[in-house]
Structure 1
């Protein structure tokens, strides 16, 4: 017998997809009938869910809180204080579903505190654990070779040469993403962040060596 999917999961996933599509259509000024060339936000949210559940298995975090928070963490992306207002909307949505009422506050807290690429040096891990896991999962999706591919596809690099693009990525890796790795809350996230950071550095180093021929 196939178990019926929980209403809350379907509602969360549907809203996340709708908001991701709305965001990219607004950013690219697309008409309703025009196809979306690439929906980064939707790709990102799905990856955060995947990584968050992976971390939950390894840390003992509550899977339902972590998954709901991961689906909904960016539903107000692009708006001021998207973490704060997104948390409020997420809580209201879950109250209308079959999501365990006693766990809604945990989802709201995780979304409310997920923003930012780094935390203060030496800061203790975020608590509760579910909030820490969402923060880590969100940031882990910013690390890895796939993110180099994405970043190089953005309008940020319009007009830049290949060498200039590589140099900017190397600078971002050293000045920002190195601190992201140090900011991880959980041991599994810290290990994976280090692996992905080294992969990015190796890729960029190889690219630089080609430029020196």
Structure 2
């Protein structure tokens, strides 16, 4: 293998994001990559950046297939496919297995294994931090749109049911975004991840306070 593992993974991953929707497209992979490397740089323990970089690019290559109903679990499929792709390009067995573990462990699904390696924990944290802060709010709103489009019904209403006549008691409202973000931030593994998570959570609280003022709960100034 002549090419750096992370650059190689980027190259072979991009075609798999061609049909991806915004919340899980190649730009999401790029942001997760950049954030994971940032967390790695802030971590005192040595990190295998080749493995981490490769895993960030490949972690969501199964999302478009899962969305179309072609596979049931994008984590398992992506880990298996990533292993095949990297092996074909000459990656070592140790590198391939390390990347596969990172991918399999990046989700919050009950079926996902715990991220045991530091690289897996950093990928997990970077991916979850993508659902927090200013960018996180946009991503979570996109995910609501994706899920609504898939089910054919409104998955959530971006409003507050306590003041909106259009919202119904059986449809989640803006609080769903707050709940999703909090759920993910509570699961972070690394100290740099938790530190950044606190900063992004503080911003989200400011956003939700402003949202409530705009819809008249407290009165906008």
Aligned: 1:133 with 2:122: yes
The list of structure 1 runs, each at least 4 consecutive aligned residues, that deviate by more than 6 angstroms after superposition, is: none
- Work out the CA distance in 1 between the residues paired with 2:49 and 2:16: 23
Q: 1:151 Cα shift? A: 3.7
**Count of aligned residue pairs for this structure pair:** 190
The residue number in structure 1 matching 2:50 is 64
Structure 1 residue runs without a partner (length 5+): 25-37, 120-124
Contact 1:56 1:62 in 2 (8 A): no
- Work out the CA distance in 1 between the residues paired with 2:128 and 2:180: 12
The residue number in structure 2 matching 1:189 is 193
The one-character-per-residue Cα deviations of 1:93-114 (angstroms, maximum 9, x if unpaired) are 1112254443221111111111
Other structure's SS at 2:106 match: coil
The residue number in structure 2 matching 1:178 is 182
Structure 2 residue runs without a partner (length 5+): 149-153
1:169 to 161, 166, 174: 174
The one-character-per-residue Cα deviations of 1:105-156 (angstroms, maximum 9, x if unpaired) are 111111111112799xxxxx84211111111111111111122234445364
The residue number in structure 2 matching 1:202 is 206
- Change in Cα spacing, 1:126 to 1:160, as seen in structure 2 (3 Å) is closer
Other structure's SS at 2:173 match: helix
Other structure's SS at 1:127 match: coil
Q: Cα RMSD over matched residues?
A: 3.0
- Change in Cα spacing, 1:161 to 1:198, as seen in structure 2 (3 Å) is closer
1:22 to 19, 22, 27: 19
* Further displaced range: 87-96 or 159-168: 159-168
Q: 1:172 Cα shift? A: 3.3
TM-score, with structure 1 as normaliser:
0.76
Q: 1:158 Cα shift? A: 8.6
TM-score, with structure 2 as normaliser:
0.73
Q: 1:23 Cα shift? A: 3.2
Contact 2:55 2:123 in 1 (8 A): yes
* Larger proportion of helix: 1
Contact 2:5 2:51 in 1 (8 A): no
1:53 to 30, 34, 37: 37
The residue number in structure 2 matching 1:142 is 131
Aligned: 1:83 with 2:75: yes
Other structure's SS at 1:168 match: coil
1:12 to 5, 9, 14: 9
